[in-house]
Chain A
Amino acid sequence: MDFSGFLLMRDEISLVALILILLLYDLFAPAKARKAFQPVACLLFVVQIAITLLPTAADHAFGGMYVNTPVASVVKTLMSAGTLLVFLFSKKWLEEKHEIAQGEFYFLTLSTLLGMYFMVSSGHFLMFYLGIELASIPLACLVAFSKKDIFSAEAGAKFILNASFASGVSLFGMSLLYGGTGTLYFSDMPIALTGTPLQIAGMILFATGLFFKMSLIPYHSWTADVYQGAPTQVSAYLSVVSKTAAAVTLFTIFFKVFGVMAESWKPVLYIIIILSITIANVFAIRQKNIKRFLAYSSISQAGYIVLGVMAASPQGLTGVVYYMMVYMFANIAAFGVAALVERQCGNTEISSYNGLYKTNPWLSVLMMFALFSLAGIPPFAGFFSKFFIFASAVQQGYYILVLIALLNTIISLYYYLLIVRAMFITPNDNPLPNFRSDNYSRIAMVVCFFGIVLSGIVSFFYNKFDEMAKESMEVCEYSMPKATDGTANGIATAAFDGQTAEAASGDASAATATTAMNATAPWPSTQE
């Protein structure tokens, strides 16, 4: 037996090891040692992130089920880093509210992270499905984490029912794709895709699952409710890490698998982008709750990210990954400040930010930087990420789409500035008193601060991602025509070319493939 496939999965294996260590530690450590659980967990997680930083070979394992590309590897590092920041922000909250369940929080979060790892480097629809489910089922437990809190429970119910419904629809799409092409491998499917109505229906239904994860309009209705009801740290995780995985997977699948059907899905994405950006902006303006506000802002950010998928070029992929990194720092900082303020004043209303600058200047400045970065004001990283993603779309000729996105950036500036105005200008007789945050949150805030400021100015990141995106695109191309003897690939090629299929009519499987959905087709002998 060949174990070399496992060497390629270094990121996943180190994460599984981390999960098991933390689980056993939480179960068996004596009460005294359990006090050090969170620092130990964070330290081990840093080690895991260091392991994901090591360069990996671009290759596939397990017969093409698992595909590792340089971009997948860097995205995994980003997701791990985002999760670590969320952990740092949640330390105090766990100690105060969920002393006993703190181990479970880490276990569940890391499990969803593992699912996202598999999503990003899947090479087969089954692998992708398992990944997306592993990423959403424990996430529902996290959303409903505060058991005594009806808001949390309600958000959990809304999330799990909507998520399983979306995955059911997505699964139905996968079954139609299977019926239309006869294969579930990402690398074999493009050859069999000819744009029949069955395949288009399958593709659109399939995409539901990813659109839902990215909470694009019209799949967004759960977002605001779940973000509001879930613990703030979990909302941060949902809005950043989960979205990163979905965005990169969306790019990979639409480029690699459905690239041949681009004229079918581009109009769909076109409409979805315009709807997401515009409607979410309009809704964000009228929010009174900071978490709902950030939820709508994250929907419109997701719309911008899909612009990179529209471009479907190496530059687009770079844009998506870079955008996700910048967005991660800014959004986690915003949610982190929201979590700290929530702990002090007990609510998440925007009005409790009035006059915050007078009493907590540093917190307000960080929040302002985060919001400016989300809005895309020049010196901050958000400007550069938006610039690159718009540039990649313009390069492919989507001028009107980019114009609409630009107009929406101006609208978004208005509502981001509403919060800045509340913190700096709006007078308040009794603002929130000055408070000290715990050291873990401070570390996370400092990291976010430097992330927001530096990731735009330092061109290292963009160049690195660009290099990796180009390399990964080459990997996509080389793995496309994977010759296996006869079987699935044989059907695929036959279905692709009608004449070949007729010529090879002696081969039962080829004949079946061409007459896939034909009612009068003679059924092949399925007994043997």
Chain B
Amino acid sequence: MEHIIPMEYYLVVSSIMFFAGIYGFITRKNLIAVLISVELVLTSTDINFAVFNRFLFPQHLEGMFFTLFSIGVSAAETAVAIAIIINIYRNIKSTEVRNLKNLKD
């Protein structure tokens, strides 16, 4: 009991993941890399839910269930995103963000 890792340590990790994901989403130049950044954001949330549940509200498993659902949904999201990126690759033979310039003001 004395040697348990404090909750903040987990939260620091998840916050770093969250902001790294946001940073990556804005700066990455490749669609796949952007997708990976989005995954970082989604995963950081899973850590948050699990940690809050374990440390603050251990009587219920609400947070754990939320994590399970969120993992499943983010997998579906990634599958669709990958399918669309493959479709783009078939059309223009590239997945670079700068080549997606047909639609703009």
Contact = CB atoms under 8 A, between A and B. Distances in A.
Interface in A117-140: 125-126, 129-130, 133, 137, 140
Interface in B45-99: 45, 48-49, 52-60, 62-63, 65-66, 69-70, 73-74, 76-77, 80-81, 83-85, 87-88, 91-92
B38 A150 contact: no
A235 to B, nearest CB: 12
Contacts of A176: 48
A524 B21 CA distance: 32
Nearest to B78: A164
A153 B21 CA distance: 24
A126 B69 contact: yes
Interface in A147-193: 147-148, 150-151, 153-158, 160-161, 164-165, 167-169, 171-172, 174-176, 178-179, 182-184
A224 interface: yes
Interface string B31-47: 10011001001101100
Nearest to B7: A523
- Sort chain A's interface into a size bin: 35 or more
Interface string A504-528: 0000010011001001000111110
A298 interface: no
A175 B76 contact: no
A141 B79 CA distance: 11
Interface in A71-114: none
Given A178-B62, A487-B60, A164 B104 contact: no
Contacts of B100: 154, 157-158
A141 B81 CA distance: 9
Nearest to B87: A153
Given A158-B100, A224-B105, A519-B8, A168 B69 contact: no
A513 B60 CA distance: 13
Contacts, number: 146
A172 B41 contact: yes
A123 to B, nearest CB: 14
A155 B8 CA distance: 40
- Sort chain B's interface into a size bin: 35 or more
Contacts of A125: 66
Given A150-B88, A153-B91, A512-B57, A164 B48 contact: no
Contact of B59 (A137, A154, A487): A487
A225 interface: yes
Nearest to B91: A150
Given A156-B84, A178-B66, A151 B102 contact: yes
B35 to A, nearest CB: 7
A160 B77 contact: yes
A147 to B, nearest CB: 6
Interface in B5-21: 6-8, 18, 21
B73 A130 contact: yes
A341 B41 CA distance: 42
Given A169-B41, A172-B41, A182-B57, 19 more contacts: A126-B65, A129-B73, A137-B73, A141-B80, A150-B102, A153-B84, A160-B80, A164-B77, A165-B25, A168-B21, A171-B42, A175-B49, A175-B52, A225-B103, A225-B104, A488-B57, A491-B57, A523-B4, A523-B55
17 contacts: A126-B66, A133-B76, A144-B87, A153-B84, A153-B91, A154-B88, A161-B38, A165-B25, A169-B41, A171-B70, A175-B52, A225-B103, A228-B103, A229-B102, A512-B56, A523-B7, A526-B58
